[in-house]
Structure 1
Amino acid sequence: MVVNGRPLKKARTRAEARDFAGFPAATDGGAVGTFREAVRGFLARHARLLPLPSIFSPAAAAAPPHLLTWRVSLRVGEEGAEEDAGGCGVELNVVEEDVLRSRSVYCDQCRVVGWSGHPVCGKRYHFIIENDSIQMAGRRRTCCLRCGTPMAAAESRCLLCNFDMEGEELEECGYLHLDDSSHLLHAVVHANGYGHLLRVNGREGGSRHLTGRDIMSFWDRLCKVLHVR
C-alpha cells in the first residue's frame, strides 16, 4: 500500500525505549534543513507506524487514511527500573494528518494569531503524549460516537450504550481523540514548520511521572531537532 507517494511500512514489532530526559539528542537533527525533511527522517529513525484497526472495511483500509499514527517508545528513569522506583514507559504519538481530506482544512489557531491568510499546508503533525493515569494509556484508543466513552481501537461496540460503530466512523473518533483535554502534551506543526503548543499537563494535570518542566524541556529539544519555527 502506498500513502502520499511512499510505501506504508508495517509497524515494527519491537522498539527500543529511549531515555525521555535526553531524547532527542541535539545531534539527531542537521544544523540546517526544513521541518518537512526533518520530521520524515525523525519518524524513519525512531518511530513505528501503527496499523489500522482490523475492523475497518476492505474499502476503507485500502484508501489512504486521513490520520496515520506513528509511535516513539520512551522511558522515564533508569533502564530496567520498576515503576515504584521511578521507572515507567511513555509513548510519544505523532499523528500525521492529511489536511485536504480532514474534517477541518483551516487551522483555528492560525486564525487566532492572524495567519489565516497563509496558504494551507497539505499536512499537519500532532505530537501527543497521552495521560499516563488513564487506564488505556499506551493502547490505540477511540471513543463511542454516541456517548463518548473511551474504547480500545480494536473494539467496535460500546460497552456502556451498546452502540455498534462501523470502521469509517472510527476515523471520526480519531479526530475527537486529538481534542482530548487530558493529554500531557499536544502540539500541532504544519508542514511548513509553523506550529502551536496547544496543551501541557504535568503533575497538576494528572501525570504520575512527568512534571510540566519535564514535558516543556522535551518539547524544546524536539523543536530544535525538527526545525520547528
Structure 2
Amino acid sequence: MKKNILYFIVVLILSSALVSFAGCGSDEAVIELDGERFLQDPPTDIDRGQPECAAIVPDEPMEITEPDGVTVYVCGAVNSPGVYTLDPGLRIVDAVSAACGLREDADECYVNLATLLEDGQRIYIPTREETAESRGELITVGTDGSSDRDGGKVNINLADAAELMTLPGIGEAKASLIIEYRNQNGRFGTIEDIMKISGIKEGMFNRIKDRICI
C-alpha cells in the first residue's frame, strides 16, 4: 500500500515537471478540461487590446514637370510672321530664325535680339522706314536754330533707347523697360499706357505727356 502511494506521488511530481517544462518559454497556455489537456495559442496584440501597427508607406517624391516650351508671336518685318513654340531658354534671335529671318527692310538694331523669350511674348520687328520716321519726328530744327517740337514728339511705339532718353526723367533703365514692354505686349494703345512702366507714375507722365505720341 505504501509503495502504491509512493508510486502515485512520483508520477504526480513527474507529470507536474513535464507540464512546467512544456510551458516554459512559450506564451501557450495549458487548459485541462474533463481530464484532457488543450494548448491555447498565445494572445495577439488585438486580444491584449493593443492597436495593430499600420504599414508605413514611404511618400512618393513629387515630380516637377518643366514646361514643354515657350509660345511667342513674331510679327513685323520678318519673312514668316506667326506663332511659334520654342524650347525654354532660347532668345529673340531664335524666334526670328524660326520666322525665317528678318526681311531686307528690317531694322535689326531696334530690338535686343539677345533677350530671353517668355511664354506669350509678342515680338515686333519694325522696318527701317518706321524707325527713321520716328527719328525724323523727334527733333525738327527750326530756321532760328532752336528745336521745334510742335510736330516732333517722341513716338513711344517706335523710339529707340537714345530717343526715349531725351524725355525728362527717362534714363537708360526706364528706356530699356519701355522697349521691353513693347517687345512683350506690342504697341502702346494710348500715351497714358506709358504709366504701366515701372517707375513712371502720374507726376512723371504730366512732365512728358506733351512731348510724346503714339
Name the TM tier (shorter chain).
under 0.3
TM-score by length of 2: 0.24
Q: Which has the higher helix share?
A: 2
Q: Which has the higher strand share?
A: 1
Structure having greater relative contact order (Cα 8 Å, sep ≥ 6): 1
TM-score by length of 1: 0.23
